[in-house]
A and B are shown apart, each in its own frame.
Chain A
Amino acid sequence: MEEKIKHIEELLERFFEGQTSNAEEQELYIFFGSDDLPEHLAPYKPVFGYFETGLMEEIQSSSEKQASVKPLPLRRKVLMVLTSVAAVVLAFFLLQPLFTHQNEEPDPFEGSFIVRNGERIDDLDQIRPELELKMQLALLQEERADRLLNWNADDEDPLQMIEQELKAQYCELIHQFPDEAVQQEVKDILQIECE
């Protein structure tokens, strides 16, 4: 008996150092499974009771928990996938301006064009100077018409002076434009002669 107890003590020491084999551990379980234990070894009984039953209970309860988790229904899975895709697409469109040419200001003449002799010209770089000239002239025309409409005999500036003043402004603008063909075109539109 004393030899057996000494053997168990050696096994115990090796057990807590993790050096026992399965057969040796089984031997310890059997020894501590009995009720008749030496007094100095009795405190170790619960330890082997845990390792034999408690660990198994833990493993069993975790597998039960896994078993209790029900798989998602197909419709819900599809809905989650679609929601994820929609979120990604939305984020793409919201964030895209940050990665594109955000700092570029829109061309103020965007959408402008000229149709001449049946040919439409949309190249803003080519026609921009002409567009600016014609815009200024159109506004001068408006100013001319407004002044003439609002003129009355009590005003200081007679009609002729208003006409001459505005004609001078027209001609000054027209002559700033280098293309003589465009100059003539504008003069034809305004029906004026510039010196």
Chain B
Amino acid sequence: MRTKHVVLAVLFLMTGSLIGELQAQENIKAVMNKCITMDNVDVNRIRSKDRTIITVTFKNNDALMNEISEACRKDEPQAEHISESKKNGKMVPNFYRFDKGSFSIKVNEEDNSVSATFVEEKGDSFYAPKRTQRTVK
């Protein structure tokens, strides 16, 4: 009886962490898709046979910028390579390389404009957890 309870608990924990990991993989992608329906955000969605590219540009939208930063933070464990820079005392993502794509973001402090590009190559898994390399400018 006790052994059975232990096995069930382990299975429950493993399932929970797996689900959490799967959900976390889609954060950046979800935010980029959300931008398509947002006001005052210009979007280019380019679909080709090999990949899908979503580019968003916006100005003076700190809330959206924070949302993107949060999504990047959540997807960090799945990134192969991360490039960041320090701005105004905060670490801001520049480029994330994943197994099947990438995410890059540029912030223009002069006019508070942001452009972000999300590239997803067609294949089985966009995110493949690997040893993450981090580069700080």
- Residues of A with Cβ closer than 8 Å to B? 108-118, 130-131, 134-135, 138-139, 141-142, 145-146, 148-149, 185, 188-191
Instruction: Collect the chain B residues with CB atoms within 8 Å of residue A139's CB.
Output: 119
Is B31 in the interface zone, CB < 8 Å from A? no
Instruction: Collect the chain B residues with CB atoms within 8 Å of residue A130's CB.
Output: 44
Interface pairs A-B: 5 shortest CB-CB:
A145-B95, A115-B43, A189-B115, A111-B47, A138-B53
**Which residues of B from 14 to 70 have beta carbons under 8 Å from A?**
36, 39-49, 53, 55, 57
Instruction: Collect the chain A residues with CB atoms within 8 Å of residue B115's CB.
Output: 188-191
Instruction: Collect the chain B residues with CB atoms within 8 Å of residue A131's CB.
Output: 44, 46
In the assembly, what is the distance between CA of A69 and CA of B108, in Å?
90
Known: A134-B55, A145-B95. A115 touches B83 (CB 8 A): no
Residue ID in chain B nearest A142 by CB atoms: B102
**Size of the chain B interface, CB-CB below 8 angstroms:** 30
- Residues of B with Cβ closer than 8 Å to A? 36, 39-49, 53, 55, 57, 81, 83, 94-95, 97, 102, 104, 106, 108, 113, 115, 117, 119, 133, 135
Instruction: Select one of B42, B49, B97 contacting A149, CB under 8 A.
Output: B97
A52, chain B: closest CB distance, angstroms: 86
A62, chain B: closest CB distance, angstroms: 69
Taking a contact as CB atoms under 8 Å apart, the answer to whether B106 and A191 are in contact is yes
Instruction: Collect the chain A residues with CB atoms within 8 Å of residue B46's CB.
Output: 109, 112, 131, 134-135, 138
Taking a contact as CB atoms under 8 Å apart, the answer to whether B133 and A112 are in contact is no
Residue ID in chain A nearest B135 by CB atoms: A149
Provide 7 A-B residue pairs closer than 8 Å at the C-beta atoms, listed in order of the A residue: A114-B44, A115-B36, A115-B41, A131-B44, A149-B83, A149-B95, A190-B115
Residue ID in chain A nearest B111 by CB atoms: A188
